[in-house]
Amino acid sequence: MKELVKKLTQTTAPSGYETNLRSVIEEELKGSTDQIRVDGLGNMIVRKGPEQPGAPTIMLAAHMDEIGLMVTHVDENGFARFTNIGGVFPRYTAGARVRFLNGAAGVIGIEPHSNTSSVPALDKMFIDTGVSSAKQSPVEIGDVAVFERTFEDLGDRLVSKAMDDRAGIAVLIEAFRQLKKSPNNVYAVFTVQEEVGARGAGRAAFGLEPDLALVVDVTLCGDTPQNKETQVFLGKGPAVHIKDLGTLADPRVTGWIKKGAQRARIPIQTSILTRGYTDTYTIQTSRAGVPAGGIAIPCRYIHSPSEMVDVSDLTNSVKLLAALLSKPISL
Cβ atoms within 10 Å of 47's Cβ, excluding its own: 18
- Residue 112, Cβ density class (10 Å: 0-12 exposed, 13-18 middle, ≥19 buried): exposed
Rounded-to-integer distance, Cα 155 and Cα 177, Å: 24
Greatest CA separation found in the chain? 68
Annotated catalytic residue within 194, 195, 229, 307: 194
171's CB contacts (< 8 A; 6+ apart) are 62, 216, 295, 297, 314, 317, 318, 321
149's CB contacts (< 8 A; 6+ apart) are 97, 160, 161, 305, 306
48 backbone dihedrals φ, ψ, rounded to 5°: -110, 120
18 is catalytic: no
Rounded-to-integer distance, Cα 12 and Cα 254, Å: 33
Catalytic amino acids?
194
